[in-house]
Structure 1
Amino acid sequence: MKTIAVISRKGGAGKTTLAVNLFAALRQAERRTVLADADPLRSTSEALRATPGDGGPVVETSASKLFALSTASARSGVERLVIDTPASPEADIVAAIKLADLCLIVARPTYLDLSAALKTLELVRQLSTRGMVVLNQCPPARRGAEPRSVAATLETLRFSGVPVAPRALRARLAYQNAIARGQGVVDYEPEGVAAAEVRSLAAAVEQQFVAEAAPAAANDAAAPRRARS
Structure 2
Amino acid sequence: MKTLAVMSRKGGAGKTTVAVNLTLAARAAGVKAVLADADPLRSACEVLREREEAASLLFETGAAKLFALTEACRRSGAELLIIDTPAAPEADVAEAVKVADLCLAVSRPTYLDLAAAVRSVAIIQRLGREGVVALNQCAPRRNGVEPPQVLKAFEALRFAGLPVAGTALRSRVVYQTAFAQRRSVLEIEGADRASDEVRALFAEVWKRLSGEKPAPVRTANDDLGRPWMAARPAGLTFVQPPA
- Counterparts of 2:97 and 2:160 in 1: how far apart (Å)? 21
Residue 103 of structure 2 corresponds to 103
TM-score, normalized by length of structure 1? 0.88
User: After superposition, what is the alpha-carbon deviation per residue over 1:35-84, rounded to whole angstroms, capped at 9, x for unaligned?
Assistant: 00001111100111343x33451010000011111001000100000000
Residue 211 of structure 1 corresponds to 211
Residue 9 of structure 2 corresponds to 9
Letter in 1 for 2:38: A
Q: Structure 1 stretch 156-165 or stretch 116-125: which is displaced more?
A: 156-165
- The alpha-carbon deviation at position 146 of structure 1 amounts to 1.2
Residue 144 of structure 1 corresponds to 144
Runs of 4+ in structure 1 over 6 Å off: none
- Counterparts of 1:120 and 1:43 in 2: how far apart (Å)? 20
Asked if the contact 2:39–2:87 (Cα under 8 Å) also holds between the matched residues in 1, the reply is yes
- Counterparts of 1:34 and 1:197 in 2: how far apart (Å)? 20
Q: Structure 1 stretch 172-181 or stretch 159-168: which is displaced more?
A: 159-168
Distance 1:160 1:70, change over 3 A: closer
Say what the alpha-carbon RMSD is for the aligned residues.
1.6
Distance 1:14 1:205, change over 3 A: same
- For residues 68-217 of structure 1, the aligned pairs below 5 Å read 68-189=68-189, 192-211=192-211
- The alpha-carbon deviation at position 31 of structure 1 amounts to 0.9
- The alpha-carbon deviation at position 158 of structure 1 amounts to 2.8
**Which structure dedicates a bigger proportion of its chain to helix?**
1
Residue 217 of structure 2 corresponds to none
Sequence identity, in percent? 54
Asked if the contact 1:9–1:87 (Cα under 8 Å) also holds between the matched residues in 2, the reply is yes
TM-score, normalized by length of structure 2? 0.83
- Counterparts of 2:13 and 2:201 in 1: how far apart (Å)? 16
**3-state DSSP of counterpart to 2:12:** coil
Match status 1:33 vs 2:33:
yes
Residue 45 of structure 1 corresponds to 45
Letter in 2 for 1:39: D
Asked if the contact 2:9–2:119 (Cα under 8 Å) also holds between the matched residues in 1, the reply is no
Letter in 2 for 1:67: F
- The alpha-carbon deviation at position 161 of structure 1 amounts to 4.4
- Counterparts of 2:137 and 2:181 in 1: how far apart (Å)? 19
Asked if the contact 1:50–1:181 (Cα under 8 Å) also holds between the matched residues in 2, the reply is no
Residue 22 of structure 2 corresponds to 22
Asked if the contact 1:6–1:84 (Cα under 8 Å) also holds between the matched residues in 2, the reply is yes
- Tell me the number of residue pairs that the alignment of Structure 1 and Structure 2 aligns: 212
Match status 1:54 vs 2:53:
yes
Asked if the contact 2:6–2:83 (Cα under 8 Å) also holds between the matched residues in 1, the reply is yes
- Counterparts of 2:165 and 2:206 in 1: how far apart (Å)? 12
Structure 1, unmatched stretches of 5+, are 214-229
- Counterparts of 1:188 and 1:113 in 2: how far apart (Å)? 28
Residue 218 of structure 1 corresponds to none
Asked if the contact 1:189–1:195 (Cα under 8 Å) also holds between the matched residues in 2, the reply is no
- Counterparts of 2:68 and 2:111 in 1: how far apart (Å)? 37
Letter in 1 for 2:70: S
Residue 224 of structure 1 corresponds to none
